[in-house]
Structure 1
Amino acid sequence: MSHFTYLKTSFKNLLHLENALTKLEIPYKREKKVIDANNSKLYNVNLVISQSNNYDITFNWNGEEYELVLDASFWIQPYPVESFINKVAQQYASDVIIAESQKIGFQPIKSQQHLDGSNTITLQRWSSTSSLV
C-alpha cells in the first residue's frame, strides 16, 4: 500500500532547483501539469526524479513552493530522505547566493566544501570608481 508523503520545502524558484539537481548529478525531467483556471490553460512545471521501481520522486509546485512528494517505503536513493533534502537545500541556497550576488556586481572566486558538509563561497567585487587624492 502506498503512502505518499508531502514534505514542505522552501524551494520557490524552478531555475535554482534545477541547477541544484544538476550540480548534484541527480537526473530529472520536467513535467507540465495543465491547470484549468477560469477556462484559461495554465501550466505548472513539476520536476520528476525517476526511480527504477517506478515510484518516482516529484518536486510538485503547489502555487507557493515545490513540495517534495514521495513514498518513503519505496525510496531507493543512495542516501536517506533527510540527507537528500539537505543536499538539495544546500546546493539550492548556494545557487541563490551566487545568482543574487552577481546581480549586484559580485563574482564567485572560490567555493569550498568542508568535512562537516558545509560550504564556503568567496565572492568579490571590484569598485568601478577610484578615488584619487
Structure 2
Amino acid sequence: MSHFTNLKTSFKNLLHLERALNKLEIPYKREKKIIEGENSGLCNINLIIPQSNKYDITFDWNGEEYELVLDASFWIQPYPVESFINKLSQHYASDVIITESQKIGFQPIKSQQHLDGSNTITLQRWNSTS
C-alpha cells in the first residue's frame, strides 16, 4: 500500500533547487502544471525525481515553496530521506549565498567541507578605488 507524505521545505527558488540536485548528481525532470480556476493560463513548474520502482519523488510548488512529496517505503535514493533533505538543503543554501553575494560584488574564493558535514564558504570583495 502506498502512503505519500508531503514534507514542507524552505526551497522557494527553482534555479537554486535544480543546482542543488545537480550537485548531488540526482537526475530530475521538469513538469509544467497548468493552474485551474482564477489563474488559468498560468503554470507551475514541479520537479520529478524518477525512481526505477515508478514511485517517483516530486517537488511540488504550493504557491510559497516546493513541498517534497514521497513514499518513504519506496525510497530508493542513495541517501536516507533525512540525509537527502539535509544534503540538499546545504547545497541549496550554499548556492543562494554565492549567487546573492555575487550580485553585490563578492566572489567565492574557497569552499571547505568539514568532517561534521558542515561547509565554510569564503567570499571576497575587492574595493576598486582609482
Q: TM-score, normalised by structure 1?
A: 0.94
CA distance in 1, matches of 2:119, 2:57: 26
Deviation, 1:37, is 3.3
Per-residue CA shift, 1:22-69, capped at 9, x if unaligned? 111111000111112336311100000000000000011000000000
CA distance in 1, matches of 2:71, 2:32: 21
Per-residue CA shift, 1:54-112, capped at 9, x if unaligned? 00000110000000000011011122100000000000000000001001000001111
Residues matched between the structures, number:
130
CA distance in 2, matches of 1:39, 1:115: 48
Question: Which sections of structure 2, spanning at least 5 residues, go unmatched?
Answer: none
Provide the alpha-carbon RMSD of the alignment. Answer: 1.1
Show the counterpart of 1:120: 120
Show the counterpart of 2:33: 33
CA distance in 2, matches of 1:6, 1:93: 21
Q: Secondary structure of the residue that 2:70 maps to in structure 1?
A: strand
Greater strand percent: which structure? 1
Question: Which sections of structure 1, spanning at least 5 residues, go unmatched?
Answer: none
Return the letter of the residue paired with 1:16. H
Q: Which structure would you say has the larger Rg? A: 1
Q: TM-score, normalised by structure 2?
A: 0.96
Q: Does 1:68 align with 2:61?
A: no
Deviation, 1:129, is 2.0
CA distance in 2, matches of 1:39, 1:50: 29
Percent identity over the alignment is 85
Show the counterpart of 2:42: 42
CA distance in 1, matches of 2:118, 2:7: 23
